[in-house]
Chains A and B, each alone.
Chain A
Amino acid sequence: MLARVAADLYWMGRYIERTEHTARLLKYQLAGLVDSPADELALGWQVIYRALGQSSPMTPADVDEAEAFMMADAYTLAGSLVEDHTNPDSMVTCWAMARENATQLRPQLPLEVWTTLNRGFLWIRDCDFPEAWKEGPAALVSEGIDRLRLLAGVVEATMSRDNTWRFLQLGRFVERFQHQANLLCTWDQLGAPAGADPSLSWSDLLRVCVAFELYCRRHGMTAERDTVLEFLIRDPEVPRSLRFALQRIEQMLVGIDPLGSRHPIAPPRRVALRLTATLEATAEIVPSEERTEPARNRFTQHLFGQLAGDGRRLHDLLMAEYVDYAVSEGLPS
């Protein structure tokens, strides 16, 4: 596979995952528009934007509780995340970027994958956001999510399990790892720190991560901070846990370079292995001796900082290993 094609597949996977991440955050927030207090809504927007790595557009202190203002802000903020071409995380931007990558991949992708992606792009490109807002924005976002899941299903059903598929999955799960780590960090520090008012509930985080039902079956209906974090970081059966994403990343890396053609263990895989070791290093993700509030906060900040740094390093090493290597390194032996 061409190095450029590998990069395009990887980025296509990242953009598809990013679109869905934005859409899920937005879906949760839009549902709250019906009955959540204004200060909670403001906090929700703040968490979403921070989790996406963007500066917060508003804080609870800025809130004007007049309903008209609250809805006007929601319209602007949601619009920015749906249809704003200048917002790098908006659904339309991510979809357009995924399609741009897919256009470079026409020879590699099954026609069904291209067509499903292209139809999704045409749908969001042509959607009339002001009109959709009047009719209920949640439906628009839900349809976007449905189209993304249809695409995931078509990918699953039509693509051979070769390196084309592996680089696509690699992009998805690297993106997922980075976004989930950022979301958990933001929620822990900003959305639901102990004793904060207003705060968002941990069960809402589970819903955003499409993991609420499984959590209830495993741990009951009480969503507590450390249990939720443990669940969303380390449970290997939760599709949006960090452990789940790491497992997939490792699987893909082993499949792409099973014999270690240039290195016994390729540098990206070394980082993935180290990340796994980090997650498995302790019996509990937040050790009991760290559970006094200041110690705990220091611990989680350090942990999330380490995860974020390793996630970025993983990306850089993937590019260096498979895309941007020096010619002298790539010559056949």
Chain B
Amino acid sequence: MTAATSGTPTDPAMRSRGFQSDDGGAGSDGTVVAGTGAFADYALDPRFYDELFGGDGRPRDACGRLSEALDRFPAEELVKLQEGVYRRFLHEGITFTVLGADEVSEHIIPIDCVPRLIAAAEWDHIESGLKQRLMAINLFLRDIYNEGRSLRDGVVPPDLVLGCPQYRVEMRGVNVPHDVYVAVGGTDVVRTDAGFAVLEDNVRVPSGVSYMLACRAATKRSVPGLYREHGVREVEGYPRRLYSTLASLSSSTARPRVAILTPGRYNSAYYEHAFLAGEMGIDLVEGRDLVVHNATLYARMASGLRRIDVLYRRIDDDFVDPVTFRRDSVLGAPGLFYAYRAGNVVLANAPGTGVADDKAVYAYLPRIIRYFLNEEPILANVDTYLCREPEGLAFTLDNLRDLVVKEVGGSGGYGMLVGPHSTAREREEFATRLRDNPTNYISQPVLPLSRAGCFVDGALQPRHVDLRPFTLHGADGQNVVPGGLCRVALRKGSLVVNSSQGGGCKDLWVLRS
């Protein structure tokens, strides 16, 4: 393939194509299209780290083979691959559900068939950072629901933790098996020119792992030769590892009975719940299937009631038990929390873990890591301004145009303001909200998310990406699946990767060497 260059292009053909910016117009910064063939429309931009090409326009070390192969790939073949993937997802029902006002609709998450590559050494760095982070989070959660040393020692302001809506006073003093509060974590990792950083921790009910596996199945079918050549680390063992993690939390000496608790068929992640239950060979239960009797959790089987030892719950804390939490919940089981406190069933993740993924608490994660592990954080945090603090609020209000403002308990890309893409009226509205309830918000700079090659509108084009790897933490140790959900902002120039807002996903290949 032809390499792109920074500065003056020497190839007349490249000169005739001219410089292109992220918006597709003439570039102002001197970076150029990366080649001919399939890369004819691939515009590099020095503002954004490109996963495929270096700043000099040459393929990165790990990506040479991939970029060469893509360059040779006829566009019509890529179109066929993409259509094949779509058809397969449609037929196999790999969908997410959207509840509208009047109807329920099923959508296929857009999949880009061009994989993103991560070199072995880079992955080792990410993996050790994720393990460190989840270890610290579990110690922190144990502490805040028991002795509270970290609060007394001023590591995290007590009012921030105790006033957090996700702090569950009911968890105080509960004997959590093996002190594992978070058994499954999903961490949003981004890459910029400065390296990898954690954007968010998801330690309540992180989702997306089934799409990681679906993407992998799709690329293995679409580009089998390329996959084999690259020596990619496998992710397919995730359900086995998940089962092992969940089972390790049980005190049962016999084979523990594990089940997944789903809100039901109309939940947006239902496909994932069903997929994981099927892969692990365990029951997928709903609240209506559960009965608590004598502080013991049972599932209603066709042959009678059967005890459950470990419940991998995929519903929020509020809905777990209407007796303890939200009274109008029909998704959980009355008395479930009582059975949990009695030690007769394990809940994974434990109730109350949401404190640790609160976006304000996030700002203190580096301090939490240092305090509990006596280590420097391996993965950096993104600069975060806490609006609960007067200086943070003032800075945020003064720089709304340049910042991303998020609700501390928000998710899914909702309830946020992306300053550079906002209107004056939206900024005004947000400023009012910030002044009215500053503790509910944090702000961060707009990150120049890295871009990866995607096949969009019949051509290879760079699009912004993030990454959600999944970390398992059980009594038998920690495990990070070598891969993750790689989300893509498919709309040109967009930085929002959420599937509910025009995002898609692609396979992530972690190379063995």
B284 contacts A256, C-beta separation under 8 Å: no
Residues A163 and B302 in contact, CB atoms below 8 Å apart? yes
The verdict on A118 contacting B93 (CB below 8 Å), with A3-B300, A4-B289, A4-B300 known, is yes
Known: A114-B93, A122-B90, A122-B91. A2 touches B283 (CB 8 A): yes
Q: Any chain B CB within 8 A of the CB of A263?
A: no
In the bound assembly, the distance between CA atoms of A243 and B184 in angstroms comes to 53
Q: Per-residue 0/1 for A113-150: is the Cβ within 8 Å of any B Cβ (1 yes, 0 no)?
A: 01100110010000000000000000000000000000
Instruction: Tell me the nearest residue of chain B to A110, going by C-beta.
Output: B278
Q: A3-B300, A256-B302 are in contact. Are A103 and B284 (CB under 8 A)?
A: no
Q: Does A201 contact B (CB under 8 A)?
A: no
The residue of chain B having its C-beta at the shortest distance from the C-beta of A322 within the complex is B302
* Stretch from B171-179, B303-311, B409-417, B486-494 forming part of the interface with A: B303-311
List residues of chain A with CB within 8 A of the CB of B302. 1-3, 5-6, 163, 167, 256, 322-323
Decide: A115 near B91, CB < 8 A? Known: A4-B289, A107-B274, A331-B293: yes
What residues of chain A lie closer than 8 Å to B301, measured between beta carbons? 1-3, 330
* Interface flag for A108 (CB, 8 Å): yes
Give chain A residues whose Cβ lies under 8 Å from the Cβ of B91.
115, 118-119, 122
Complex-state Cα separation, A111 to B88, whole angstroms = 12
- Cβ-defined contact, B275 with A106, below 8 A: yes
B127 contacts the other chain (Cβ, under 8 Å)? no
> Are A114 and B92 within 8 A (Cβ)?
yes
- For B304, what are the chain A residues with a Cβ–Cβ distance below 8 Å? 261-262, 325, 329-332
Closest to A10 in B: B302
Q: A55 interface residue, CB < 8 Å from B?
A: no
**Please, which residue of chain A has its CB at the minimum distance from the CB of B277?**
A107
Q: Give the bracket for the number of chain A residues in contact with chain B.
A: 20 to 34
In whole Å, how far is A99's beta carbon from the nearest beta carbon of chain B? 9
- Residue of A100, A118, A323 near B92 (CB, 8 A) is A118
Q: Give B224-253 interface residues, CB cut-off 8 Å to A.
A: none
In this assembly, does B265 line the interface, its C-beta being within 8 Å of a C-beta of chain A? Answer: yes
Contacts of A3 in B (CB 8 A): 289, 300-302
- Cβ of A12 to closest chain B Cβ, rounded Å: 14
Q: A108-B278, A327-B305 are in contact. Are A2 and B93 (CB under 8 A)?
A: no
Pick the contact of A2: B92, B265, B275, B300 (CB < 8 A).
B300
Q: Mark B252-288, 1 if CB is under 8 A from A, else 0.
A: 0000000000000100001100110110001111101
Question: CA of A309 to CA of B180 in the docked complex: distance in angstroms?
Answer: 56
| Residue in contact with A107 in the complex, picked from B92, B278, B289, CB distance below 8 Å | B278
List the B side residues contacting A106 at CB < 8 Å: 93, 271, 274-275, 277-278, 284
CB distance from B279 to the nearest CB of A (A): 8
Check if B203 is an interface residue, CB within 8 A of chain A.
no
User: CB-defined interface of B46-61 with A at 8 Å, one 1/0 digit per residue?
Assistant: 0000000000000000
Instruction: Count A-B pairs with CB separation below 8 Å.
Output: 82
Report how far A3 CA is from B306 CA in the complex, Å: 11
A170 to chain B minimum Cβ distance, whole angstroms, is 11
Among A1, A262, A327, A330, which residue has the most Cβ atoms of chain B within 10 A?
A: A330
Distance, CA A111 to CA B271, complexed state (A): 13
Task: Check A257 for interface membership: any CB of B closer than 8 A.
Answer: yes
Q: Does B346 contact A (CB under 8 A)?
A: no
B291 beta carbon closer than 8 Å to chain A: yes
CB of A104 within 8 Å of the partner chain = yes
Question: Is there a chain A Cβ closer than 8 Å to B460's Cβ?
Answer: no
> Which B residues lie within 8 Å of A262 (CB)?
304
B93 near A330: Cβ-Cβ < 8 Å = no
Q: B271, B283, B286, B306: which contacts A332 (Cβ < 8 A)? A: B306
Contact with A along B478-510 (1 / 0, CB 8 A): 000000000000000000000000000000000
A259 to B91, CA, bound (A): 40
- Contact A327 to B291, CB < 8 A, known contacts A106-B278, A261-B304: yes
CB proximity to A under 8 Å, residues B347-392: none
Interface residues in B78-101 (C-beta closer than 8 Å to A):
90-93
Q: Are A327 and B293 in contact (CB under 8 A)?
A: yes
A322 to B298, CA, bound (A): 15
Question: Is the pair A111, B300 in contact by a Cβ cutoff of 8 Å?
Answer: no
Residues of B within 8 A of A323 (CB): 302
Q: Which chain B residue shows the least CB distance to A105?
A: B274
CB < 8 Å neighbour of A4 from B274, B288, B298, B306: B288
B134 within 8 A of partner (CB): no
B299 CB, min distance to chain A CBs, angstroms = 6
What separation, in Å, do the CA atoms of A261 and B304 have in the docked complex? 9
Which of A289-325 touch B at CB < 8 Å? 322-323, 325
Q: Considering only CB atoms, which chain B residue lies closest to A111 in the complex?
A: B92
Complex contacts, A118 vs chain B, CB 8 Å: 91-93
Which residue of chain B has its CB nearest to the CB of A327?
A: B291
A2 touching B278, Cβ below 8 Å: no
- Within the complex, the shortest CB–CB distance from A26 to chain B, in Å, comes to 26
Per the bound structure, the CA–CA distance linking A100 and B299 in Å amounts to: 22
Give Cα A323 to B304, complex, Å: 9
Whether B278 pairs with A331 at a CB distance below 8 angstroms is no
Closest to A118 in B: B93
Smallest beta-carbon distance A255→chain B, Å: 12
Chain A residues lying within 8 Å of B291, measured Cβ to Cβ, are: 327
Whole-angstrom CA separation of A100 from B97 in the bound complex: 13
Say whether, besides A3-B289, A104-B265, A107-B284, A331 and B299 are in contact (CB < 8 Å): no
Residues of A within 8 A of B271 (CB): 106
| B305 / chain A contacts, CB cutoff of 8 Å | 327, 330-332
Tell me, rounded to whole Å, the shortest Cβ–Cβ distance linking A86 to chain B.
Answer: 16
Residues on B with C-beta less than 8 A from A329 are: 304
Q: Which A residues touch B92, using CB under 8 A?
A: 111, 114-115, 118
A5 contacts across to B, CB distance below 8 A: 283, 302
Q: For A257, what are the chain B residues with a Cβ–Cβ distance below 8 Å? A: 303
| Chain A proximity of B402: nearest CB distance (Å) | 45
Among A3, A100, A111: residue with most chain B CB under 10 A: A3
Task: List B298-336 residues whose CB lies under 8 Å from chain A.
Answer: 298-307
Chain A residue nearest in CB terms to B305:
A330
Q: Mark A89-111, 1 if CB is under 8 A from B, else 0.
A: 00000000000100110111001
Cα A323 to Cα B289 with chains together (Å): 10
Least CB distance, B261 to chain A, in whole angstroms: 12
Distance (whole angstroms) from the CB of A266 to the closest CB of chain B: 11
**Which partner residue on chain B sits nearest A333 by CB separation?**
B304
Q: Roughly how many angstroms separate A2 CA and B93 CA in the complex, as a whole number? A: 23
Tell me the smallest distance from the CB of B181 to a CB of chain A, in Å. 27
A–B complex contacts, Cβ < 8 Å, 16 sampled: A1-B302, A106-B277, A107-B282, A107-B283, A111-B92, A114-B92, A115-B91, A115-B93, A122-B91, A163-B302, A167-B302, A256-B302, A261-B304, A262-B304, A322-B302, A331-B304
Name the 6 nearest CB pairs between A and B, nearest first. A106-B274, A107-B278, A107-B277, A6-B302, A330-B304, A330-B305
* Residues of A in contact with B (beta carbons under 8 Å apart): 1-6, 100, 103-104, 106-108, 111, 114-115, 118-119, 122, 163, 167, 256-257, 261-262, 322-323, 325, 327, 329-332
Question: Chain B residues in contact with chain A, CB under 8 A?
Answer: 90-93, 265, 270-271, 274-275, 277-278, 282-286, 288-289, 291, 293, 298-307
Name 17 extra pairs, CB < 8 A, besides A103-B270, A114-B93, A330-B300.
A1-B301, A2-B283, A2-B289, A2-B299, A3-B301, A100-B265, A104-B265, A106-B271, A106-B275, A106-B277, A106-B284, A118-B93, A119-B91, A325-B304, A330-B304, A331-B293, A332-B304
